[in-house]
């Protein structure tokens, strides 16, 4: 998920037609295996999709069969939100036009969601993300490059409270059910400490993965370069988009007002709590501050390793993630 700032000014996305090498022989064998096992394929799973599962399985037919079976079971039980329910989540996860390569752009405001959603509401947010991915891949892709660009906005996410479980839940399911669909991932508005640690940790990723992932602060340089026109970038990400979504919803931003109201309510509760008000500032000695900083760095470092580990698998189809 994280990448050094060195790559922010050298954004290059490989042509997917060169990277994806399909084998008609393997596809024929796979379809025969699925037929013998009586695995029912939905209309959504055409030859192109089967080829992508083959690629994710390194052209291993047995592994690919497991992937397809898992996908079918998941689709039988997962509830995809209809359009009217997606609209309820549209301030937190939504499609916003296309990038310069005509790939649809999914924006996930994970920082804002983490700030305003209660823990029991976050699984629904993950469900909304997956429902939007399904909608975009079904309705928004172009034949020239049938992949998507994802922008994760982390504004409001604490350095020591990054929602790993929420992100992992989504990435695991996207990895299993939408292989090789990611063209580029932008992670913006990360806390400065996290970005600093990223500069060394990112080196463990493979070059193919590095070319897909970009991390930015509040400048959005690589994002602007990727889209080529600031009018295609949402306003809250430094762009100048004038679409109805940006001018109406994002300007007023009712979700932000809810967040401010929640913060104000918490502040009022703290003001009424005598135990909060009587805590002397002298208790925060230099020693305790030093210990807190050390703990913060250690926890942050370990957290980043976890994020890097599962995202390295998520975005690199060469890794065999099915135990054999």
For residue range 206-234, list pLDDT tens digits in order. 666 667 777 777 777 778 778 877 788 88
Check whether 5 has a pLDDT greater than 50: no
| CB neighbour list of residue 102: distance below 8 Å, 6 or more residues apart | 142, 144, 145
Please tell me the least confidently modeled range out of 84-88, 151-155, 192-196, 224-228: 192-196
pLDDT at site 216: 73
Please tell me the least confidently modeled range out of 90-99, 244-253, 283-292: 283-292
From its phi and psi, is residue 253 left (phi > 0), alpha (psi between -120 and 50) or beta? left
Judged by DSSP in three states, 279 sits in coil
Range 17-77 has CATH code 3.30.450? no
Check whether 182 has a pLDDT greater than 50: yes
d(CA 54, CA 322): 13
pLDDT, mean of residues 27-35? 89
Please tell me the least confidently modeled range out of 26-35, 48-57, 308-317: 308-317
Burial of 39 (0-12, 13-18, 19+ CB in 10 A): middle
Confidence of residue 132 (pLDDT cuts 50, 70, 90): very high
d(CA 70, CA 78): 12
Confidence of residue 191 (pLDDT cuts 50, 70, 90): confident
Four-residue CA torsion sign, 194, 199, 204, 209: positive
Q: What is the CA radius of gyration of the chain?
A: 22
pLDDT at site 131: 95
Which residues make beta-bridge pairs with 216? 188
pLDDT in tens, 258-281: 444 544 554 554 455 443 344 433
Burial of 144 (0-12, 13-18, 19+ CB in 10 A): exposed
| CB neighbour list of residue 280: distance below 8 Å, 6 or more residues apart | none
Centre a 10 Å sphere on the Cβ of residue 18 and count the other Cβ atoms it contains. 7
Do residues 125 and 117 touch, judged by C-beta distance below 8 A? yes
pLDDT, mean of residues 103-109? 93
d(CA 60, CA 318): 11
CA–centroid distance for 270 within its chain: 34
Which residues make beta-bridge pairs with 148? 182
Asked if the domains at 5-14+79-256+298-314 and 17-77 fall in one CATH topology, the answer is: no
What element of type H or E holds 13?
none
Check whether 289 has a pLDDT greater than 50: yes
pLDDT, mean of residues 69-76? 90
pLDDT, mean of residues 48-74? 90
Do residues 297 and 191 touch, judged by C-beta distance below 8 A? no
Mean pLDDT of the chain: 73
Do residues 44 and 247 touch, judged by C-beta distance below 8 A? no
Q: 4 or 244: whose pLDDT is higher?
A: 244
Do residues 150 and 106 touch, judged by C-beta distance below 8 A? yes
Q: Name the phi and psi angles at 177, rounded to 5.
A: -115, -15
pLDDT, mean of residues 93-107? 92
pLDDT at site 130: 94
Structure tokens at 20: 């994806």
Check whether 20 has a pLDDT greater than 90: no
d(CA 14, CA 271): 55
What's the CATH number for 5-14+79-256+298-314?
A: 3.40.525.10
Check whether 110 has a pLDDT greater than 90: no
Q: Name the phi and psi angles at 97, rounded to 5.
A: 65, -155
| CB neighbour list of residue 245: distance below 8 Å, 6 or more residues apart | 90, 94, 96, 234
Confidence of residue 17 (pLDDT cuts 50, 70, 90): very low
Do residues 241 and 27 touch, judged by C-beta distance below 8 A? no
Check whether 161 has a pLDDT greater than 60: yes
Domain boundaries, the chain: 5-14+79-256+298-314, 17-77
pLDDT at site 44: 79
Confidence of residue 172 (pLDDT cuts 50, 70, 90): confident
Do residues 220 and 237 touch, judged by C-beta distance below 8 A? yes
């Amino acid at each position: 998920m994280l990448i050094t700032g060195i790559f922010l000014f050298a954004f290059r996305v490989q042509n997917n037609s060169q990277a994806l090498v399909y084998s008609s022989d393997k596809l024929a064998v796979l379809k025969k295996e699925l037929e013998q096992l009586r695995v029912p394929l939905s209309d959504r799973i055409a030859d192109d999709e089967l080829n992508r599962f083959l690629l994710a399985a390194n052209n291993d037919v047995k592994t690919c069969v497991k992937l397809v079976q898992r996908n079918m079971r998941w689709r039988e039980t997962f509830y995809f939100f209809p359009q009217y329910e997606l609209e309820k989540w549209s301030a937190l996860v939504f499609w916003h036009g296309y990038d310069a390569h005509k790939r649809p752009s999914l924006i996930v405001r994970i920082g804002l969601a983490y700030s305003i959603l209660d823990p029991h509401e976050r699984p629904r947010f993950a469900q909304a993300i997956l429902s939007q991915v399904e909608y975009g891949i079904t309705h928004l892709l172009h034949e020239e490059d049938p992949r998507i660009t994802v922008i994760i906005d982390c504004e409001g996410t604490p350095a020591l409270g990054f929602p790993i479980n929420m992100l992992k839940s989504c990435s695991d399911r996207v990895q299993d059910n939408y292989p090789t669909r990611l063209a580029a991932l932008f992670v913006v508005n990360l806390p400065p400490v996290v970005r600093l640690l990223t500069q060394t940790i990112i080196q463990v990723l493979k070059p193919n993965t590095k070319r897909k992932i970009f991390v930015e602060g509040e400048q959005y340089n690589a994002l602007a370069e990727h889209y080529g026109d600031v009018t295609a970038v949402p306003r809250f990400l430094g762009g100048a988009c004038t679409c109805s979504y940006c001018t109406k919803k994002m300007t007023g931003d009712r979700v932000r007002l809810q967040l401010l109201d929640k913060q104000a309510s918490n502040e009022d509760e703290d003001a009424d709590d005598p135990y909060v008000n009587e805590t002397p500032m002298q208790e925060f000695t230099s020693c305790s501050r030093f210990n807190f900083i050390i703990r913060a760095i250690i926890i942050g470092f370990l957290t980043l390793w976890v994020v890097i580990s599962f995202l390295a698998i998520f975005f690199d189809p060469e890794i065999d993630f099915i135990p054999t």
